[in-house]
Amino acid sequence: MSADGPWHPWQSLPFPADGPGAGLEYPADADRFHVEELPLYEPCGEGEHLYLDIEKRELDTPGLAALIAARLGLPAASVGWAGRKDRNATARQRLSVPRRESEGRLDALEDPRLRLLGASPHRNKLRLGHLRGNRFRLLLRGSAPLGPLREALDALVATGMPNYFGPQRFGLEGDNHQRGRALLGTPNARRGRAQRFLHSAFQSSLFNRVCAARAAAGPGLLDGDLAWIHAKGAVFRVEDLSAEAPRAERLEISASGPLPGRQMLLPADAAGELEARELALGGWREEFGRQLRGGRRPLRIPLLEASLEAYDEGAQLTVTLPPGSYASVLLACLGLRVPAGGRDSEED
């Protein structure tokens, strides 16, 4: 299958078409999609930066950062954030601004789309990934038997959830990955934030392809895998499958997949052969690595604090996911139809 073939990094993924959540409606508005960042650390109370805790609606994170910069008279690049949130959600997240230029001007942030919940000094600017996770509360309208839905959720808690990138990574037209690949083949192309996001979409499509191929190959580790340690966010090469299998069953470790680039470690043996084949089918070329940093990402993730309750219009799903993982993937695993560009939380 070529890069221009029919395979699509979201629409082609092996989600159940008739799962127990098929009768429920995707939460497509801010009243039904709530997400709260769980910070990696708390501000220390002193330093050159000011951490702003904000609840927002009708703004994605770049738009929120631009509004803050404009209201406070700051350069756009001086505003930091730990995670990117969609505009069609009620989201609580933390951003950082230079303290000296901002501390006495926070009244300028008054806006119907946001609420300032607190402000505390800290020594460093917030960076992407400075998160422990995201807690989601999703109100799912419709009719579905809660028993089978809860069983499906419990099964994902026990085995882990495939860590696919969600549909919003690929844009409303579903072609961000193709645009990103085209940019990589363009000499002297601009490398601003928009271009980096498209490059990342191409990497994400390759990861999803490998993740789907690994799901088809069956659960568990393969010879030559680079295993992800969930507690540390680090990888190691699997030397003894039988020795590491119990840790994988306990969800302490998982196989990792590719975010291709010059700094990405390569698996070996069976894992390496599968990964190389899928990358080639997805349109990856070795020379692209000069323009992309690369890395590894776990092929599955643990679900934390997952619960499902009835409410008057359907079901309420509450779950905590690691940073960079997608609630839309969980909903698709439960059988809900997830629209293109579905709302969520994601990495840049």
Please name the residues in contact with 15: beta carbons below 8 A apart, sequence gap of 6 or more. 332, 333, 335
Tell me if 156 sits within 8 A of 333, measured CB to CB: yes
Active site residue 86: yes
Cα distance between residue 102 and residue 124, in whole Å? 15
Cα distance between residue 130 and residue 135, in whole Å? 15
- Of 203, 182, 190, 250, which is closest to residue 348 (Cα–Cα)? 203
Cα distance between residue 136 and residue 331, in whole Å? 12
> How many CB atoms within 10 Å of residue 240?
8
3-state SS track over 148-201: HHHHHHHHHHHHCEECCCCHHHHCCCCCHHHHHHHHHCCCCCCCCHHHHHHHHH
| β-strand pairing of 314-321 with 131-141 | antiparallel
Spot the catalytic one: 4, 18, 60, 86: 86
Q: Which sequence positions are flagged as catalytic?
A: 86
